[in-house]
Amino acid sequence: MEYFGVDRHLIADASLVTGLVGQRLVPLLCEKCYIPWVEKAPELASDIRTSLERYCTVEWGSKPGKLYFRNHEGCDHCRNTIPLTGCIISRGVTGHTGHCRGCTR
């Protein structure tokens, strides 16, 4: 028998439950104003920069140069306000997803 298109024995699998509990929505950075690694790296503390370079470099091709950072100032494309108050409620983010950009390509 299937539930939601998944075999029953898979629904009871502990690793599936662990994966569902651990999943979080990640912010989608605004493509108009995100900050690439080459611009952000000089601003980072040396220990953080070193950690990112170490952990983001893997054999199959990932490199720190593929990292992008949120622009907390935002831009006209991503800055949203509450119409009545004019209060800014988001900057640098255009939505949220359960997949990283690398997974959707």
Chain-centre distance of CA 80, in angstroms? 19
* Of positions 77, 96, 99, 101, contacts Zn ion by CB under 5 A: 77
Q: What stretch of H or E contains 65?
A: none
* Contact status: 93 vs Zn ion (CB under 5 A): no
* Of positions 10, 25, 75, 88, contacts Zn ion by CB under 5 A: 75
* Of positions 29, 33, 37, 93, contacts Zn ion by CB under 5 A: 33
Q: What part of residues 13-32 is at the interface with Zn ion (CB under 5 A)?
A: 30, 32
For residue 81, the 8-state DSSP code is: E
The backbone torsions φ and ψ at residue 75, rounded to the nearest 5 degrees and listed phi first, read -150, 180
Residue nearest to Zn ion (CB): 30
Q: Answer for the pair 96, 28: CB distance below 8 angstroms, yes or no.
A: yes
Binding stretches for Zn ion (CB under 5 A): 30, 32-33, 74-75, 77-78
